[in-house]
Amino acid sequence: MLDSLIAFALLGEPALAAPPETGLAAREAHHRELLSCDRLVGHWLQEDEYLALYNAMADSRQVLEALRPMPFSEEEFPKDAADLRVGDAHYGEADLARLHDRPAEADVREAYLVLRPHCMRLIGYF
């Protein structure tokens, strides 16, 4: 399964930057993905990558604030939550804990080869 995830990450869709439709649900899902990227692999990004992700999150939040009050309160998306889908794999709270608390070599490989490229495509970085 990891091989298919790596292939998807390397050959997947090109830039997935902001959703083409401007509906609230699509914008919320995109913002939730950005927050999940930050929580899952933000600490492993290089400075320029992290700044690009941070700017994309700020831009997304600004757009959401124009559509609804206070996007993603603690009740809607707790600080220890993650909700990211890469191919058929879903990354959630258990993966967040696994990638932060003493990650194994396979976890680091997965973060660099699968999650990081997906997140960078999500913000249109490459």
Q: What pLDDT, in 10s, does the model give residues 13-51? A: 444 555 555 688 888 899 999 999 999 999 889 999 999
Mean pLDDT of 96-110: 91
Burial of 105 by CB count in 10 Å (0-12 exposed, 13-18 middle, 19+ buried)?
Answer: exposed
What are the CB-based long-range contacts (under 8 Å, 24+) for 89-94? 89/1, 89/5, 89/114, 91/36, 91/40, 91/115
pLDDT at 74 over 90: no
pLDDT at 80 over 80: yes
Q: What is the pLDDT of residue 73?
A: 78
Threshold 0.85, pTM exceeds: no
